[in-house]
Amino acid sequence: TLTEGIDFWDPEGDTITALLALDNYPSWLTITETTAGVWTLSGVPNEAKDTDYEFKLAISDVSETAVRTVELNVFEDHTPEPITVD
C-alpha cells in the first residue's frame, strides 16, 4: 500500500485525487484507493521467471500532477517440492 502523507504528499496540503501507473507497468497491476488517502497496488503476477518492472506513478491533486519512477520486483514462486518416502 501507498499512504498519503507517508509515501507521497502534496506540499500545499491538497487532497490526492488520482494515482495512476504509466509506461511499462505489468498488465495485471491494479491501483485502488481502498480508504481515503490509502492506495493499494494489487494483482496476480503471471510471470514464469523473476521479472523486474520499472514504470512511473502519476500522482494528481486538483491542480497538478507529479510523476515518480518506481521499481517492482516479481519473484517466481519457490515452493519446495514435497518429500516422498517409499
Nearest-angstrom CA–CA distance, 58 and 70: 11
Non-local CB neighbours of 34 within 8 Å, separated by 6+ positions: 1, 40
Q: Is the pTM of this model over 0.85?
A: no
Nearest-angstrom CA–CA distance, 58 and 21: 6
Confidence of residue 9 (pLDDT cuts 50, 70, 90): confident
Domain coordinates in residue numbering, the chain: 2-74
Count CB-CB contacts under 10 A for residue 64: 11
Give the tens place of pLDDT for each residue, 15-73. 888 889 998 999 999 998 888 878 888 899 888 889 999 999 998 888 889 898 989 88
